Amino acid sequence: MEALLLDLALGAYLIATLAAGVTLLQPNLKATRLGVLALVAGFMLGSVVLLVRSLRLGALVLSGGAEQVALFSWLVVGIYLVVQLRSRLAALAGLVGPIGFIGALAALGSSEQPVDVPELLRSPWLPVHITLAVVGDAAFALAGLVSAIYLWQERQLKARATGKALARLPSLETLDRLSFRLLAWGFLTLTLSIMAGALWAELAHGRMLNWEPRTIWTVVVWLVYALLLHGRASVGWGGRRAARLTIVGFCVLAVSLVGVRLLAPGSHSGAYG
Amino acid sequence: MNALGAKGRVEKLRRPRRDGELVVLGVSHHSAPVELRERITVAPEHVGAAALRMRETLRAREVVVLSTCNRLEVIAITELADPLEAFANELSRSHDLPRLGLDHHLYLHRGRAALRHLFRVASSLDSMVLGEPQILGQIKKQFRQAAAAAAAAGGLKRCFDRAFRVGKRVRTETAIGQLGVSVASTAVELATRIFDDLAEKTVMLVGAGEMAELAARHFRRAGAHGLIVVNRSFERAVELSRVFGGTPVPLERIEPYLHMADIVVGSVGGAGWILGPAHFTEALRLRRRRPMFLIDLGVPRNFDPAVNELEGVYLYDMDDLDRVAQEHREQRSGEARKAEVIVEEEVERYFRQLSDGEVTPTIVALRDKAERIRQAEVERALHSLPDADEASRAVLDAMSNAIVNKLLHGPLVALKELAREEAAVVEEAAEMVRRLFALEGETPLLPTALVEGEDDEGG
């Protein structure tokens, strides 16, 4: 049942990606609509699977890398759809589609492994901590994507180059503002996630912070984004510089997500990390 | 065929058909500079009254006046031999323009060319911005006004109805309406790639000539609200500011205003570089690095090209814009070609339907004439044969009938087939037949058939 739903979700994301590709090459209202609708369908299917699994498990499904990837991409698609409601960003669907696809694939791969959740980790603060962290990561990832599109569009405009695809992209101003908003929301959720995590650590281990690599990296990530937001809000950084820093910020985040998990052991790298 | 009906048709053929010809008179961006165009505009709400006046001037049966930013056109059915002269006189009189040299800026299309022109205008193939969407609505509205003022009726209605259909067809069957093409609209389009909402943006015109005005008009139409007009001659700056509702600034006072502008359009002639990196570095600092879009239409250029190196500054000169516009044009030249083909098809179809109408009366006239000759000759023969019995009469009748039918068979079949030919061929051939058989009708003048209902009066 879950596998079938996930197969359907895979199909939906594939359609969304193809439709976005078509739109980019040859502006086409029908394809644009189809793409967004397919993303909505994929997102709904993903939501159902997530709900079913979590109910069966009695806890939020976060039992390891694949599940987190699935949750992460589910959120990226979700946030994208919310953004799409307000500003027309069909161009982004071409990038969000594959992310959703990978997420559904990860969920499919991890579908047969119900994990026994240790009693220690059954605190309500843990899922809050992890959920907020993944929401923040998803927002930062989208901010990075938006910034990448910004840089591309900016370079084209500077070079006075034109192209069909360019005409379908949102304006520099729109992209810049969107990236800023995503950063702000991401930063807020990241901060809340750190607080929830500290609270949980305090309750579970009696310590607010354990200085393991992942925690340190997270603090680095938090500082990078804090600096970036400060620069944007009060120094007036914007445009190219802000876009580049947003991408740098996401790279640091990616290192903390992937690299630390693989290389350095700790409470964040286990089945529940 | 009853004798009365036949007689009526013959009568109709004999009547001179010169009720008038379809003509288009006009002045547009193709024919006249903006200085002239802006002096002869007719407010869109007054086109009905203008049409009535023009009907008087052109001694026309029907008139529609079309007034948009870039054109003033009079579409009429008139008998006047030189409508252009009358049109020019009227323009000169009513708009207080020197009559001398005015003709150079006006154009006249007649008959088929007039219809083609109307179709092209409705398809926005004649527009400054190729494929712009407003024109069809404007024409519809202004035709209705002319009709309401009783300046236009059935004849022009047929032309305009068809023009609306052609315009719609071009819009649905080609992708011509998707992008703006002219340099000014390209500039606007580029601006929308940088800025989110032009409504909050301020446009600064450096130089207040025709190009500046054109740019201002395009940006205004795209929603840009704020306008600063900088010009060496302050009076002209004030004048243009009044037209578009902006702030006039003398050229030497430009610097304190520069940072307020999101879009700067330079079009000062013969001045060289007016603004360089130093000016814009300062402006960018004051506007907290918000991007600036610079459009250099000056010859020689007004902005130092090094300005483009500054972050957040996007400088396009005339050649860049033209190249971008060109790319669009190339992308869409296929669409424009398709649209031209549609227009040509529709002109052809329109005239073919008319030529059906030309061939049929010729056929009828030929038959009628033959029938009359036959009857007259039979009558005469019977006079010479007073003793002829019923059978002999019948034989005479049948024989004469056979002669006429056999003789006419070739020409009639040929004429019917002719109706499928191109209009010009039909016209020529029909006239030849009329002359060969001395059918006495005037050479059919195609657009007369545009006058609806008239022919049914039966002479």
Q: Assess whether B239 and B263 both reside in one domain.
A: yes
pLDDT of residue A272 exceeding 60, the answer is no
Residue B421 located in a structural domain? yes
Taking only the tens place, the pLDDT of each residue in B118-155 is 999 998 888 765 666 678 888 999 999 999 988 888 78
Q: What are the CA-CA distances from residue B198 to residues B178, B195, B218, B224 (Å)?
A: 19, 7, 11, 5
SS3 of residue B110 by DSSP: strand
Q: Closest partner residue to A172 among B193, B323, B328, by Cβ?
A: B193
**H-helix segments, chain A:** 2-25, 29-57, 65-86, 90-109, 125-158, 164-168, 172-205, 213-230, 239-254, 260-263
pLDDT of residue B163 exceeding 90, the answer is yes
Q: Residue A261 in contact with residue A214, Cβ under 8 Å? A: yes
- Which pLDDT score is estimated for A213? 72
Q: What is the share, in percent, of chain A residues with pLDDT greater than 90?
A: 11
Give the residue on B whose Cα is nearest the Cα of A163.
B327
CA B180 to chain centre: 19
Cβ neighbors of B306 (< 8 A, separation 6 or more) are B276, B277
Residue B178 located in a structural domain? no
Put simply, the answer to whether B324 touches A160 (Cβ < 8 Å) is yes
Residue with the larger pLDDT of the pair A60 and A217: A217
* Any B CB within 8 A of A231 CB: no
The secondary structure of residue B201, as a DSSP letter, is: -
Q: Which CATH number fits the domain that encloses residue B36?
A: 3.30.460.30
Put simply, the answer to whether B195 touches A172 (Cβ < 8 Å) is yes
Per DSSP, the residues of B2-30 read -HHHHHHHHHHHHS---S-EEEEEEEETT
pLDDT of residue B459 exceeding 70, the answer is no
The secondary structure of residue A37, as a DSSP letter, is: H
Residue B343 located in a structural domain? no
Its domain, for residue B150, covers 19-173
Distance CA(A124)–CA(A127), nearest Å, equals 6
pLDDT of residue A137 exceeding 70, the answer is yes
Could you count the other beta carbons within 10 Å of the beta carbon of residue B121?
A: 27
Chain B residues with beta carbon closer than 8 angstroms to that of A166: 193
Which residues does residue B66 pair with via DSSP β-bridges, in sequence order? B73
Of the ranges A73-87, B266-280, B396-410, which is most confident? B396-410
Put simply, the answer to whether A160 touches B323 (Cβ < 8 Å) is yes
pLDDT of residue B2 exceeding 50, the answer is no
Residue with the larger pLDDT of the pair A116 and B358: B358
pLDDT of residue B23 exceeding 60, the answer is yes
Q: Assess whether B249 and B117 both reside in one domain.
A: no
- Which pLDDT score is estimated for A258? 73
Task: Using pLDDT thresholds of 50, 70 and 90, give the confidence band for residue B280.
Answer: very high
Of the ranges A260-264, B15-19, B403-407, which is most confident? B403-407
pLDDT of residue A118 exceeding 80, the answer is no
Residue B333 located in a structural domain? no
Q: Residue B96 in contact with residue B12, Cβ under 8 Å? A: no
Q: Which candidate, A196, A86, A77, places its Cα nearest to that of A138?
A: A77
pLDDT of residue B356 exceeding 80, the answer is no
| pLDDT, mean of residues A203-212 | 72
Q: Residue A256 in contact with residue A220, Cβ under 8 Å? A: yes
Distance CA(A173)–CA(B193), nearest Å, equals 8
Distance CA(A129)–CA(B90), nearest Å, equals 82
Question: What values do phi and psi take at B433, rounded to 5?
Answer: -60, -45
SS3 of residue A269 by DSSP: coil
Q: CA geometry: angle at B184 spanning B337 and B120, to 5°?
A: 30
- Which pLDDT score is estimated for A31? 79
Final residue in a domain of this structure, among B140, B173, B206:
B173
User: Does residue B159 have an active-site annotation?
Assistant: no
Residue B132 located in a structural domain? yes
pLDDT of residue B321 exceeding 90, the answer is no
Cβ neighbors of B395 (< 8 A, separation 6 or more) are none
Q: What are the CA-CA distances from residue A111 to residues A6, A77, A122, A154 (Å)?
A: 10, 20, 21, 42
Chain B residues with beta carbon closer than 8 angstroms to that of A169: 193
- Which pLDDT score is estimated for B14? 35
**E strand segments, B190-335:** 202-206, 226-231, 247-250, 263-266, 292-296, 313-317
Q: Closest partner residue to A167 among B179, B312, B320, by Cβ?
A: B179
pLDDT of residue B291 exceeding 70, the answer is yes
Residue with the larger pLDDT of the pair A237 and B66: B66
A-B contacts at Cβ under 8 angstroms: 50
| pLDDT, mean of residues A100-118 | 70
Q: Assess whether B401 and B424 both reside in one domain.
A: yes
Q: Assess whether B86 and B139 both reside in one domain.
A: yes
Cβ neighbors of A179 (< 8 A, separation 6 or more) are A143, A146, A147, A150, A242, A243, A246
Q: Assess whether B384 and B449 both reside in one domain.
A: yes
Per DSSP, the residues of A77-95 read HHHHHHHHHHS--HHHHHH
Strands B202-206 and B226-231: parallel
Q: Which candidate, A226, A181, A189, A228, places its Cα nearest to that of A80?
A: A181
- Which pLDDT score is estimated for B444? 40
Mean pLDDT of chain A: 79
Token pair for residue B223? 């929603």
Task: Using pLDDT thresholds of 50, 70 and 90, give the confidence band for residue A19.
Answer: confident
Q: Assess whether B67 and B132 both reside in one domain.
A: yes
Question: Could you tell me the sign of the dihedral formed by the alpha carbons of A14, A15, A16, A20, in that order?
Answer: positive
Taking only the tens place, the pLDDT of each residue in B46-75 is 889 999 999 999 988 899 999 876 789 999
Chain A residues with beta carbon closer than 8 angstroms to that of B296: none
Q: Assess whether B218 and B243 both reside in one domain.
A: yes
- Which pLDDT score is estimated for A87? 67
**H-helix segments, B195-317:** 210-221, 234-244, 255-258, 277-286
Residue with the larger pLDDT of the pair B346 and B457: B346
Could you count the other beta carbons within 10 Å of the beta carbon of residue B179?
A: 22
Task: Using pLDDT thresholds of 50, 70 and 90, give the confidence band for residue B456.
Answer: very low
Q: Assess whether B227 and B154 both reside in one domain.
A: no
pLDDT of residue B429 exceeding 80, the answer is no
Q: What are the CA-CA distances from residue B89 to residues A144, B67, B220 (Å)?
A: 66, 18, 34
Residue with the larger pLDDT of the pair B70 and B4: B70
Q: Assess whether B98 and B148 both reside in one domain.
A: yes
Of the ranges A179-183, A203-207, B328-332, B445-449, which is most confident? A179-183
Q: Assess whether B296 and B202 both reside in one domain.
A: yes
Final residue in a domain of this structure, among B143, B173, B203:
B173
- Which pLDDT score is estimated for B383? 87
Q: Which range (B151-160, B207-216, B338-347) has the least confidence?
A: B207-216
Task: Using pLDDT thresholds of 50, 70 and 90, give the confidence band for residue B249.
Answer: very high
Q: CA geometry: angle at B183 spanning B178 and B188, to 5°?
A: 65
Helix/strand number for chain B, H first, E second: 15, 10
Q: Which CATH number fits the domain that encloses residue B303?
A: 3.40.50.720
Q: What are the CA-CA distances from residue B229 to residues B34, B189, B206, B236 (Å)?
A: 18, 21, 6, 9
Put simply, the answer to whether B195 touches A171 (Cβ < 8 Å) is yes
Distance CA(B424)–CA(B418), nearest Å, equals 11
pLDDT of residue B19 exceeding 80, the answer is no
Dmax (CA) for chain B in angstroms is: 119
Q: What is the share, in percent, of chain B residues with pLDDT greater than 70?
A: 81
Task: Using pLDDT thresholds of 50, 70 and 90, give the confidence band for residue B13.
Answer: very low
Residue B88 located in a structural domain? yes
- Which pLDDT score is estimated for B8? 41
Which residues does residue B230 pair with via DSSP β-bridges, in sequence order? B206, B249
Question: What values do phi and psi take at A124, rounded to 5?
Answer: -65, -20
Q: CA geometry: angle at A230 spanning A224 and A235, to 5°?
A: 125
Mean pLDDT of chain B: 80
| pLDDT, mean of residues A139-152 | 90
Q: Which candidate, B126, B21, B7, B1, places its Cα nearest to that of B354?
A: B21
Taking only the tens place, the pLDDT of each residue in B213-235 is 878 888 988 888 899 999 988 88
Q: Which candidate, B34, B322, B301, places its Cα nearest to that of B182?
A: B322
- Which pLDDT score is estimated for A52? 84
- Catalytic residue (choose from B6, B34, B49, B69): B69
Put simply, the answer to whether B194 touches A169 (Cβ < 8 Å) is no
Distance CA(B23)–CA(B373), nearest Å, equals 40
Q: Which range (A244-248, B6-10, B334-338) has the least confidence?
A: B6-10
Amino acid at A5: L
Q: Assess whether B32 and B141 both reside in one domain.
A: yes
pLDDT of residue B443 exceeding 50, the answer is no
Taking only the tens place, the pLDDT of each residue in A65-103 is 677 778 888 888 888 888 877 766 766 777 788 888 888
Distance CA(A270)–CA(B159), nearest Å, equals 79
Residue B318 located in a structural domain? no
CA A104 to chain centre: 14
Question: Could you tell me the sign of the dihedral formed by the alpha carbons of A252, A258, A261, A267, in that order?
Answer: positive
Give the residue on B whose Cα is nearest the Cα of A159.
B314
Q: Which candidate, B49, B25, B35, places its Cα nearest to that of B211?
A: B35
Final residue in a domain of this structure, among B277, B292, B311:
B311
In angstroms, the separation between the Cα of residue B452 and the nearest Cα of chain A is: 43
Q: What is the share, in percent, of chain B residues with pLDDT greater than 90?
A: 25
SS3 of residue A168 by DSSP: helix
Residue B284 located in a structural domain? yes
Q: Assess whether B224 and B155 both reside in one domain.
A: no
Distance CA(B230)–CA(B40), nearest Å, equals 26
Chain A residues with beta carbon closer than 8 angstroms to that of B323: 160
Put simply, the answer to whether A173 touches B195 (Cβ < 8 Å) is yes
How many domains are contained in chain B?
3
